[in-house]
Amino acid sequence: MQIKIEIQQAKITDAKAIASLSDQLGYTSSEAAIQQRLHVIFQDSNQCVSAAIYNQQLIGWIHGFIALRVESDAFVEIGGLVVNEQFRQQGVGKLLVEKIYSWSLNKHCNHIRVRSNVMRKESHLFYKKLGFNELKEQKVYGLELLKNS
């Protein structure tokens, strides 16, 4: 059975639903923090956040942004993609990626990248099925900076 999904630009008022969905993948963030981030993202024309809506409920979201590196041409990176557990394997993720695909072309970018945790095997299969090729494995390092009080 095919469900009717609408893909639209996310809104600040979607922050609570985005936080809840992100939590399903282990990325915990508050509604207020996501509202703040969305406010900044929406001011930047090189970023896009789209939402998948079913029965007036947000069931998925995707964040894409233009990345520019000294050594390579600009590309779009998918910064996040989450679909509600109850709606996975029903084409929602594909619709969200297609939205980023068309947004990328409108931004004159001809390459999309996505990073996926090595443990998320189902995500790897999802992206390969959509035509993505594995480019490399890597380690990601982080450094917390001291905050001035």
Q: What is the pLDDT of residues 93-103, one digit of tens each?
A: 999 999 999 99
Query: pTM of the full predicted structure?
Result: 0.92
Q: Is 83 left (phi over 0), alpha (psi -120 to 50) or beta?
A: beta
Q: Give the pairing type, strands 72-83 and 57-69.
A: antiparallel
Fold of 6-129: Aminopeptidase (3.40.630)
Phi and psi for 48 in degrees, rounded to 5? -145, 135
Q: What is the pLDDT of residues 27-60, one digit of tens each?
A: 899 999 999 999 999 999 999 999 999 999 999 9
